[in-house]
Structure 1
Amino acid sequence: MAWDGLTPREGRGVNDLGPLLVFGTSEGRYAVPARHVRQVLGLVVFSGAGNGHGGWIGDAHVGEEVVPVLDVDLCFGRRPEAYTLDHRLVDVEAGDRRFALVATEVHTIVSAPEDTAIEASHEAPIRGAIRLGERSADVLELEALAARADSVEPTVSVEDLFSGFDEAELAELGRRRDPTVAPMAPPVEPERLAVLASLAGNTVALLVDPVQEFVRLGRLTPVPTTPDHVLGLANHRGEIVGVVDLAPLLGFSPVDRRDVALAALVDPPSEPAAVAVDEVRQTVPLDEGSIDGSPDQPGVLGQLDRDGQAVPLVDPLQVLAARTMVRIRGA
Structure 2
Amino acid sequence: MVERIPDSETIVETAETYDLRHGFNVGFLQLLLQAQTRAELIKIGHLCSIPDTPDWFAGFINHRGDAVPVFDLAACLGLEPVTYSKGWLLLLDEQPTVAGLLLAEPPQGVTDPVLLDEHERQPELNLLQGISSGQYRHQNGVWFELDHRAFFTAQKQRFIDINAQPPV
State TM-score, norm by structure 2. Answer: 0.65
TM-superposed deviation, 1:324:
5.1
Aligned match of 2:100: 274
User: Which letter maps to 2:101?
Assistant: V
Aligned match of 1:219: 46
Higher deviation after alignment, 237-246 or 224-233: 224-233
Aligned match of 1:105: 17
User: Which letter maps to 1:272?
Assistant: V
TM-superposed deviation, 1:228:
1.8
User: Which letter maps to 1:105?
Assistant: T
Aligned match of 1:245: 72
User: Which letter maps to 2:65?
Assistant: G
TM-superposed deviation, 1:240:
1.0
Aligned match of 2:88: 261
**In the TM superposition, what are the counterparts of 1:193-204 in structure 2 within 5 Å?**
194-200=21-27, 203-204=30-31
Q: Is the 8 A contact 2:68 2:98 kept in 1?
A: yes
For 2:54 and 2:139, locate their aligned partners in 1 and report how far apart those are by CA, in whole Å: 35
| Identity value in percent | 22
Gaps of 5+ in 1: 1-25, 28-79, 84-102, 109-193
Secondary structure, counterpart of 2:150 in structure 1: helix
- Please provide the CA RMSD for this pair: 3.5
Name which structure has the greater RCO, CA cutoff 8 Å, separation 6+: 2
Cα–Cα, structure 1 residues 317 and 221, in superposed 2: closer, same or farther, change >3 Å? same
Cα–Cα, structure 1 residues 281 and 222, in superposed 2: closer, same or farther, change >3 Å? same
**In the TM superposition, what are the counterparts of 1:1-331 in structure 2 within 5 Å?**
26=1, 81-83=12-14, 103-106=15-18, 108=20, 194-200=21-27, 203-209=30-36, 211-216=37-42, 217-250=44-77, 252-267=79-94, 271-277=97-103, 278-285=105-112, 288-289=115-116, 292-293=121-122, 295=124, 296=126, 297-322=129-154, 327=159
- How many residues of Structure 1 are paired with residues of Structure 2 in the alignment? 147
User: Which letter maps to 1:318?
Assistant: A
Q: Is the 8 A contact 1:319 1:325 kept in 2?
A: no
For 1:232 and 1:202, locate their aligned partners in 2 and report how far apart those are by CA, in whole Å: 24
Q: Which has the larger radius of gyration?
A: 1
For 2:76 and 2:136, locate their aligned partners in 1 and report how far apart those are by CA, in whole Å: 17
